[in-house]
Amino acid sequence: MTTPFAVIVDAAAYAQAVEDAVKASAAYYTGGTSALDDDAYDRLVRGIAAWESEHPEQTLPESPTGKVAGGAVEGDVPHTVEMLSLDNVFSPEEFTAWTASLARRIGHDTERFSVEPKLDGLAIAARYTRGRLTRLITRGDGRAGEDVSHAIGTVEGLPAELAEPVTVEVRGEVLMTSAQFEYANEVRTSHGGAPFANPRGASAGTLRAKERAYTVPMTFFGYGLLPLADTETALADRLGGLAHSELMTLAGELGVNTTATTAVPGVTADTVEQVLARVTEIAALRAELPFGIDGIVIKADLAADQRTAGSGSRAPRWAIAYKLPAVEKITRLLEVEWNVGRTGIIAPRAVLEPVEIDGATITYATLHNPGDITRRDLRLGDHVMVHRAGDVIPRIEAPVAHLRTGDEQLIVFPEVCPRCGSAIDTSEQRWRCENGRNCHLVAALSYAAGRDQLDIEGLGHTRVVQLVEAGLVADLADLFALTRDQLLALERMGETSTDNLLAALDAAKAQPLSRVLCALGVRGTGRSMSRRIARHFATMDNIRAADTEAMRQVEGIGTEKAPSIVAELVELAPLVDKLVAAGVNMTEPGATPPAPVTDDGSASGSGSGSGSTDEGASEGGPLAGMTVVVTGAMTGALEKLSRNQMNELIERAGGRSSSSVSKKTTLVVAGEGAGSKRAKAETLGVRLATPDEFAALVADHLDPL
């Protein structure tokens, strides 16, 4: 679907739109401080173009439609070959129309396309003389750019020396990864500066800064390779004849970073259908990438086709940018809510002026913790950059500080728990009510009774509220002390529902230790970590006896998490004792406790000390040594299993469950509707299995579930 455009009603509105677009472009390319987000700018420029198509005689010379992006930016270093922008398309129909236009220009259908992600950064030209990096130049107005050679040595992926002593120009994009952006804002705010609004703006501002008291890293991805005036004749002739995909291969061989090293490498495609399929794949992976992309670049791959198609004043005719829906928008921060979770964690949440991002209306965004608010210097009334990609929870990147009016107000942090009025423990980044779980008992009990924890059918949120308000339940263990007479005395509790609930509570006592541990809601753990801890230690007694060093032996528990888990288990000791007295199971079926450690530090006996199981989580299991990801809807024998039960099944069969696909993934079980994870698996060459194929593989381990 075509992106909507700003409606311009008369010549005065057109002139104002041109002025706004030129100012926004100049601000973005000089310091990343544009008042418009990408979507607003694109709609404005498309509106300008629509007006000009109907009133060509009124086109202003400063209009952005005929100029290279950033054309208002001055530069004094001439480009050897003009550094052009790209025209945009926003739908399969517009892309198909563009390919037809390209075919008419070159006299035949394009034989081969290259397809790459459109990186959301700042374009630069890097000049190498006899293999050494000597100059960095911004795009500027396309004809000349600004010398930013002072940034040499701060950009990862742009080597100081190539693998061969050749004289060439590498063109590409400088950006900040998510991790680099977080670090940049930490350093910038620690030096008294306002935080960057987003990674793209951070890259633009950082690249041009010459006299800062600090440096922050950036990353380069190459997308072009061309000769300079003094390039060796043989090499210049070679570069002129190589296809774009071959140039990128050569760039990689020279040591330059390209998208080939990412989850979305550049590929070639022979047909429009193949291109659009790749567009869909890249779009599906967008939310998981460690850097921003705002579209996909499609080029005629062959050098001959590029020469025949030629270029206009603004953009080459042999390349196009297929823009994706914006994942960042500017809106206002209206309020901060302080919500108390089931373990007593007090979490801030941003209330936003509603804004539409990628088809969803966003009114709330995560703020993580009070330290996050302070670090980002957020204030009520701020214009903020909000990021949302795919199903990722919307988050505030940073305030757009240059849009402040002076009317913004400091965010007031709570002095007591906003739920119960108790004191707040502020010793850690995430603040917590000193009443802990008891502050939000209903949430804690509802979570414990859930399908993936104790699976107590009939104990929904409403029933939990009823039990708590009646004074019958003050903690998890009290559930197992409920009597038939107590339940019958409650409203809407007949004999059948009472007996069913008592039966469900009795069945819950037999749940494996991993589910009991998960139901307790130990901070720093979840379903997966609870399973790992239970399988490692085998019994609750072993878990409670573990010190920090012993807890660190569990996969995924590091030096920071181990102490808090041990401390939390000490805090929960009285509740665990009550559960034991109530007859709740405290062992993990099939798990073997870790072998004791001898005086010389080695494990004694034949056990591995890793909590292996004899029911599939051993070397003989069908998934032994495999990391498995499940995505999409399961069918057949797996249809009724929750995602948590699927993960339990994987681990019973000897494997390790994971929620994300990477090079370390061994198998992806892809059900109906599998999207980005399946696409990423295909990109990485990870083995895929249907639900039926997976069920057959682990058939011997299905019955216990």
What DSSP state is assigned to residue 426?
A: -
Cross-sheet strand order for the sheet of 218-227: 132-138, 122-129, 168-175, 218-227, 155-156
What DSSP state is assigned to residue 104?
A: H
Helix residue ranges, H only, 165-265: 178-190, 199-208, 233-241, 244-254
CB 473, CB 456: distance < 8 Å:
no
Task: Say if strands 667-670 and 627-631 run parallel, antiparallel, or are unpaired.
Answer: parallel
CA distance 457 to 157: 55
Buried b (16+ CB within 10 A) or exposed e, 400-424: bbeeeeeebeebeebeebebeeeeb
CA atoms within 13 A on the CB side of 352: 27
CA distance 174 to 276: 26
Among candidate residues 118, 299, 677, 680, the one labeled active-site is: 118
Question: What 3-state class would DSSP assign to 511?
Answer: coil
CB 184, CB 216: distance < 8 Å:
yes
CB 382, CB 399: distance < 8 Å:
yes
Can you read off the two tokens belonging to residue 230? Answer: 């003094």
CA distance 218 to 160: 14
Give φ, ψ of 506 to 5 degrees: -65, -40
Amino acid symbol at 526: G
Task: Say if strands 667-670 and 687-689 run parallel, antiparallel, or are unpaired.
Answer: parallel
Number of H helices, E strands in the chain: 23, 25
Residues 6+ apart with CB under 8 A from 620: 654
Residues 6+ apart with CB under 8 A from 298: 95, 113, 114, 115, 275, 279, 319, 320, 321, 322
**DSSP-assigned states of every residue in 249-284:** HHHHHHT---GGGSSS--EEESSHHHHHHHHHHHHH
Residues 6+ apart with CB under 8 A from 192: none
Count the Cβ atoms, other than its own, within 10 Å of residue 54.
Answer: 8
* DSSP H or E segment with residue 397: strand 395-399
Give φ, ψ of 538 to 5 degrees: 75, -35
Catalytic, 67? Answer no
CA atoms within 13 A on the CB side of 443: 14
Can you read off the two tokens belonging to residue 103? Answer: 């075919």
Give φ, ψ of 169 to 5 degrees: -115, 130
* β-strand partners of 246: none
Put residue 601 in one of left, alpha, beta given phi > 0 → left and psi -120 to 50 → alpha: left
CA atoms within 13 A on the CB side of 661: 29
Task: Say if strands 627-631 and 424-425 run parallel, antiparallel, or are unpaired.
Answer: unpaired
Question: What 3-state class would DSSP assign to 239?
Answer: helix
- Provide the CA 254 distance to its chain's centre, in angstroms: 30
- Provide the CA 48 distance to its chain's centre, in angstroms: 34
CA distance 317 to 247: 19
Task: Cite the active site residues.
Answer: 118
